[in-house]
C-alpha cells in the first residue's frame, strides 16, 4: 500500500511547524491589538498621561521598522528557525516587562522587546511556511499564518481586557507569557530535534528523518546572494506592485485606527447610547471579516493569481476610501466600512507573500524569502505609522470632517495603484528578469563555434 500524498495526510509532521507559527503570530498580534484596547485601563490604573502612553506604544512600531533590514541581513548569517525562536524569547520578555511595568521606562522596554520579536517571528515564520509549501499552495500556507493573526486581533479586545479586570496587570501578562513559553518550548523541541522521553520507546524511520529535514533545515544564504537578490527584487514589477499594495494597506489601516475609534465614541450619546462593550464589538467587525477572508484569500491566490488578487484589492481600496466620508456618515456605514476594509486587508496581505516568493524564486537562491518579506513588512509598518499620525490632525483641522482623510488616503492609494498597473502592464516582468539559462547556454556554445571555424 502506498502512502497518501503529503497534501492529503491531515495528521502529518508538517502540521507541527504550522501550529507553532500559527500560535506565535496569534500571541504577537493578540498583544499588539490588546495593548491598544487596554490602554485606557492602564492609563487610569497608574495615573499616566494618555499622550505619553500613546507615544510609548508607538516606540514598538518604529523598532519593528528598524529591525526589518537587520533581520534581512541576519538571514544571510543565521538560519530562519533560529530567528523565529529568538523572536519568541523576546515576546516572553515583553510579557514579563508588561506584567511589572509601573513606569514609562519599563513600559517602553516592553514595547522595544515586542518591536524586536514581531518582525523576527513574522518574517522568519512566513519564510518557513513558504519553504514548506509547494508553489501552487503558497496562498494556502500564507493563510495559515494570517489566520493566527486574525484570531489574535479578534480575541484581544475581550480576552486581555477581561484578564486585566479579573487577575490584575501582573497575573494577566504572566498567564499570557506562560502560554507563549509553552509554544517556545514546542518550537525548540521541533526545530532543533530535541529528543524527548517518548523517542526512546520507538526508533525513528527513514521517512520521519526526511520529514525532520524538510521542516527544519533552513540554511543561511551568503552575502553575495543577498546582493544578487536585492538587484532582482528592486527591478521586478511584481515586487514593486507587491510592496506598493503593502504600503497602501499600512497607510489605510493606520488612518482608520487614528480616527474611527474616536468617531465611534461619539455614538455613546443620543440617539444610540452605545456602551464601551458595544463599541468594541463594532470595532471587531474588521477582525471578523479579516478572519473569514484570510482563508478565502489563500484559496483565490493559488487558483487565480496573486498578482490579479493584489491589483483587484488595490482597486477596491481606492474606491472604498474615495467614498469614505460618505459611507461613514452613519453608524451602519461605519460598521460596513470597518468590515470591508478588514476583508480587503486580508486579501492583500495574504496575496502579497506568494507574489513576493515568486520574485525571490527567480534568483534561484534557497531560503531567501526573509529578505523579500522584510521589505514588505518594513514598508507596511512605516506606512501604518504615517497613516496613524496624519489621520487625526487632518480630521481635527477640518472641523472633525473625514473628507481630508479620505482624500489623502484615496490619493496615495490611487497613485500606488497607477504605479502597479504601469510597471506590470506597460513594462511587464519578463523585461526585467534576465534569462540566466539562455545566457549561460550562449556563453558555453560560443567557444564551440569559434573552434569549429578555426579547424
**Opening angle at CA 266, ends 278 and 33, nearest 5:** 55
Indicate the pTM of the whole model: 0.74
Between 3.30.70.640, 3.40.710.10, 1.20.1250.20, 1.25.40.10, what CATH number should domain 13-195+202-220 receive? Answer: 1.20.1250.20
What pLDDT does 438 receive? 41
Residues 6 or more apart whose Cβ sits within 8 Å of residue 269: none
What pLDDT does 70 receive? 83
In DSSP notation, 8-29 reads G-SSSTTHHHHHHHHHHHHHHH
Each as own residue / partner, the long-range contacts of residues 107-114 (CB below 8 Å, 24 or more positions apart, any chain) are 107/53, 107/56, 108/56, 108/59, 111/56, 111/57, 111/59, 111/60, 111/63, 112/59, 112/60, 112/63, 114/28, 114/31, 114/32, 114/60, 114/63, 114/90
What pLDDT does 192 receive? 81
- The cell 520578555 sits on which residue? 93
What pLDDT does 316 receive? 92
What pLDDT does 367 receive? 64
Query: Which fold would CATH assign to domain 222-431?
Result: Growth Hormone; Chain: A; (1.20.1250)
What pLDDT does 414 receive? 93
What pLDDT does 220 receive? 61
Closest CA to 173 of 107, 257, 104, 87: 107
- Residue 342: CB atoms within 10 Å: 24
Is the torsion defined by CA of 273, 276, 277, 279 positive or negative? Answer: positive
In DSSP notation, 182-246 reads HHHHHHHHHHTT---GGGGTSPPPHHHHHHHHHHH------HHHHHHHHHHHTT-HHHHHHHHHH
Mean pLDDT, 10 residues at a time, over the chain (455 residues)?
40 72 89 71 64 66 81 77 91 88 78 88 86 78 81 79 75 88 90 59 44 48 72 81 90 85 77 75 83 79 84 92 88 90 87 83 73 82 82 82 89 91 71 44 40 36
Query: Could you tell me the CA-to-CA distances from 267 to 29, 275, 400 in Å, in that order?
Result: 27, 9, 14
Residues 296-328: b if buried by 16+ CB within 10 A, e if exposed: ebbebbbeebbbebbbbbbbbbbebbbebbebb
Distance CA 5, CA 334 (A): 46
Q: Which three cell numbers stand for residue 88?
A: 519568541
Alpha helices in 362-402 (DSSP H): 369-397
Residues 6 or more apart whose Cβ sits within 8 Å of residue 56: 104, 107, 108, 111
Closest CA to 178 of 85, 96, 82: 96
What pLDDT does 57 receive? 66
Closest CA to 155 of 30, 279, 40, 39: 30
- The cell 515568486 sits on which residue? 358
Could you give the residue range(s) of every CATH 1.20.1250.20 domain in the chain? Answer: 13-195+202-220, 222-431
Q: Which three cell numbers stand for residue 20?
A: 507553532
Is the torsion defined by CA of 386, 369, 206, 195 positive or negative? Answer: negative
Amino acid at each position: 500500500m502506498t502512502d497518501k500524498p503529503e497534501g492529503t495526510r491531515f495528521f502529518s509532521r508538517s502540521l507541527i511547524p504550522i501550529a507553532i507559527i500559527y500560535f506565535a503570530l496569534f500571541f504577537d498580534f493578540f498583544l499588539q491589538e490588546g495593548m491598544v484596547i487596554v490602554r485606557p485601563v492602564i492609563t487610569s490604573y497608574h495615573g499616566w498621561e494618555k499622550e505619553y502612553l500613546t507615544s510609548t506604544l508607538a516606540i514598538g512600531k518604529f523598532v519593528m521598522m528598524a529591525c526589518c533590514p537587520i533581520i534581512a541581513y541576519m538571514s544571510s548569517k543565521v538560519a530562519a528557525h533560529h530567528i523565529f525562536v529568538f523572536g519568541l524569547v523576546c515576546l516572553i520578555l515583553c510579557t514579563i516587562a508588561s506584567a511589572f511595568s509601573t513606569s514609562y521606562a519599563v513600559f517602553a522596554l516592553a514595547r522595544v522587546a515586542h518591536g524586536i520579536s514581531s518582525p523576527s517571528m513574522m518574517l522568519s515564520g512566513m519564510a518557513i511556511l513558504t519553504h514548506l509549501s509547494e508553489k501552487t499552495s503558497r496562498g494556502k500556507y500564507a493563510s495559515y499564518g494570517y489566520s493566527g493573526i486574525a484570531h489574535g486581533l479578534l480575541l484581544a479586545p475581550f480576552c486581555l481586557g477581561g484578564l486585566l479586570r479579573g487577575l490584575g496587570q501582573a497575573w494577566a501578562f504572566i498567564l499570557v507569557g506562560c502560554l507563549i513559553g509553552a509554544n517556545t518550548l514546542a518550537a525548540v523541541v521541533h526545530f532543533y530535534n530535541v529528543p524527548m522521553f517518548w523517542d526512546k520507546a520507538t526508533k525513528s524511520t527513514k521517512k520521519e528523518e526526511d520529514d525532520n529535514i524538510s521542516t527544519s533545515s533552513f540554511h543561511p544564504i551568503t552575502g553575495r546572494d543577498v546582493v544578487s537578490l536585492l538587484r532582482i527584487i528592486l527591478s521586478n514589477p511584481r515586487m514593486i506592485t507587491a510592496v506598493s499594495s503593502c504600503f497602501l494597506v499600512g497607510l489605510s489601516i493606520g488612518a482608520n485606527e487614528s480616527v474611527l475609534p474616536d468617531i465611534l465614541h461619539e455614538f455613546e450619546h443620543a440617539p444610540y447610547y452605545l456602551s464601551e462593550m458595544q463599541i468594541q464589538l463594532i470595532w471587531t467587525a474588521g477582525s471578523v471579516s479579516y478572519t473569514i477572508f484570510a482563508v478565502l484569500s489563500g484559496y483565490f491566490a493559488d487558483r487565480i493569481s496573486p498578482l490579479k488578487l493584489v491589483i483587484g484589492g488595490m482597486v477596491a481600496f481606492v474606491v472604498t476610501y474615495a467614498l469614505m466620508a460618505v459611507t461613514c456618515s452613519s453608524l451602519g456605514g461605519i460598521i460596513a466600512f470597518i468590515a470591508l476594509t478588514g476583508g480587503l486587508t486580508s486579501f492583500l496581505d495574504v496575496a502579497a507573500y506568494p507574489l513576493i516568493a515568486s520574485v525571490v524564486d527567480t534568483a534561484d537562491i534557497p531560503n531567501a524569502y526573509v529578505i523579500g518579506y522584510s521589505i514588505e513588512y518594513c514598508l507596511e509598518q512605516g506606512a501604518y505609522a504615517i497613516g496613524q499620525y496624519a489621520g487625526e490632525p487632518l480630521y481635527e483641522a477640518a472641523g472633525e470632517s473625514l473628507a481630508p482623510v479620505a482624500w489623502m488616503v484615496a490619493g496615495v492609494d490611487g497613485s500606488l495603484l497607477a504605479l502597479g498597473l504601469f510597471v506590470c502592464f506597460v513594462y511587464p516582468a519578463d523585461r526585467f528578469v534576465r534569462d540566466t539559462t539562455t545566457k549561460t547556454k550562449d556563453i558555453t556554445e560560443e567557444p564551440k563555434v569559434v573552434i569549429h571555424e578555426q579547424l
